[in-house]
Amino acid sequence: MNLLFVLFLFVAPSLEKYFSYDLPKEKKALVIGIDGLRPDSMTHAKTPNIDFLIDNGSVSFNAYAGGNLGTETEQVTSSGPGWSSILTGVWTNKHGVTDNSFKNQNYKEYPHFFKRIKDFDPNLYLVSFVQWTPIHTHILSDADEFGNGSDEYVSEMGAKSIKTGKSDVVFLHFDDVDHAGHAYRYGNDYPEYIASIEKTDKLIGFVLDEIRKKEKEDWLIVVTTDHGGINYGHGGQSIDERTIFFISSGAGLPIKTFDKGPGMTAVAPTVFRHLGITIKPEWGWESKPFPSLEKGERDE
User: What does the mean pLDDT of the chain come to?
Assistant: 92
pLDDT number for residue 11: 43
- All structural domains of the chain, each given as residue ranges with its CATH number in brackets, are 24-283 (3.40.720.10)
- The residues that bridge with 129 in the sheet, in sequence order, are 147, 172
pLDDT in tens, 200-243: 999 999 999 999 999 999 999 999 999 999 999 999 999 999 99
269 contacts: CB under 8 Å, gap ≥ 6: 89, 279, 285, 287, 288, 289, 290
pLDDT number for residue 295: 62
Nearest C-alpha neighbor of 116 from the set 83, 89, 147, 84: 89
Query: CB-side exposure of 269: number of CA atoms within 13 Å?
Result: 22
pLDDT number for residue 165: 95
Mean pLDDT of 99-119: 98
Question: C-alpha angle 138/144/147, rounded to 5°?
Answer: 55
pTM exceeds 0.85 for this model: yes
Examine the pLDDT at 49 and tell me if it is beyond 90: yes
Examine the pLDDT at 107 and tell me if it is beyond 50: yes
pLDDT in tens, 252-299: 999 999 999 999 999 999 999 999 999 999 999 999 999 998 764 443
pLDDT number for residue 2: 54
Examine the pLDDT at 21 and tell me if it is beyond 50: no
Q: Are 38 and 200 in contact (CB under 8 A)?
A: no
pLDDT in tens, 134-143: 999 999 999 9
pLDDT number for residue 296: 46
pLDDT number for residue 8: 40
pLDDT number for residue 294: 76
- The residues that bridge with 6 in the sheet, in sequence order, are none
